[in-house]
Structure 1
Amino acid sequence: MTSTSSGPAYTIQTARTLLRCWSPADAARALRAIHASLEHLRPWLDWAREAYPMSVSQQAAVLRRFRGRFDLGEDFTYAVFDRGGTEVLGGCGLHPRVGEGGREIGYWIASEHIGQGLATEVAAALTRVAFELEGLRRVEIHCDPLNVRSAAVPRKLGFTHEGTLRQRLRSPDGGWRDTMLWTLLAEDHAARPAAASNLEAFDVLGQRLL
């Protein structure tokens, strides 16, 4: 059910998670989850390798920038909390860096919570928001072919593997690594698993959007 309110979705509730726009006040909790997961994240995410460790004040500044860009409609980076909103389980985003009418879904899950299907649940929710609320025509997920857990997410959700971009990004050892490109189009969304995911989405005033 869709309300007359307009997006973006500042808060999204799924069966097991609460996604919401980051706040600088989340810095300490975010930092605990990230620092505890660095060994798990660094092989795949440049920011985990290049920016951490950092202080709480530095983390707050990062989250302040996330919030500012969210409020300006420039980029949409979310915290992933447990349903009660107390523990940081990871992070995700709908990033407008893949061309007009498209968004790229990004996600990471804290090492303590991997293997529970949370990344798939989160990506499914963002896919619904992208198509049903934002009215986009294309959603992409990019991942390293060696990151088996990450590649399983778009596969489970019915995305199409359009191809693998060879030697696309730098690897931690200074070499080059490939990037898989997964996509889903608006006309195919209704027939894919993400369309059946349970969620509620709310705007900045708490009014229901989806």
Structure 2
Amino acid sequence: MVTNEVRSGDDEAVIADKLRLIDAVQRLGVGYHFEAEIEAILEKVHDMGEVLFANIDDKDTNLYHAALRFRLLRQQGFPTSPDEFKKLKNSDGRFKEWLSRDVQGLLSLYEAAHMAFNGEDILDEALSFATKSLKSIGLPTQEKISPSFQKQIDFALRLPAWKCPSRSLARHSIDNFYSEDSALNQNLLTFAKLDFNMVQSFHQQELRELSK
């Protein structure tokens, strides 16, 4: 399922799709089936450098993809600099106004900022900004979002993905999977449900054996 390799000629859209797929696979709790493939893809993404999604300060989906790239690479142990997020600030040191309207980008930035090391002030500031902005979503003055995406935000604000136990994250992601209806996501969701039930059945059997 996670089989396509990253090539130097791939454009940002192709790489973005692969990053989204890795994120979905991991959130749904089936990443352990594709550890070698995920490692190979992220290694090549890392080797391509930060030129990917270089226009992070543009008002498009680049913030979402750049933050996702940063989080996935750092989770995997690749050295990754947070300096690119400095582009999100104005000359007065404040985060740019349009960021508060990029809900998907904000959520991705929020998740990425939790990967901060000591002394990475830009990530600490990004976390504070993203948290405040996400909490304001849903107020009468804010743009409306889908109920499923609101659930993702509420869940993340309680417990970001990388801190969440894998089974709990998988259960939530299965119940509230991305609202897209592509065949890929439906196949992936079906696979994740089967895997979750098999693992749960295995654990229940273990508990029965232990109780004896």
Same fold at TM > 0.5 = no
Which of structures 1 and 2 has the larger relative contact order (alpha carbons within 8 angstroms, sep 6+)? Answer: 1
Question: What is the TM-score with the length of structure 1 in the denominator?
Answer: 0.30
Bigger Rg, structure 1 or 2: 2
TM-score (norm 2): 0.30
- In terms of fraction of residues, the more helix-rich structure is 2
Q: Which has the higher strand share?
A: 1
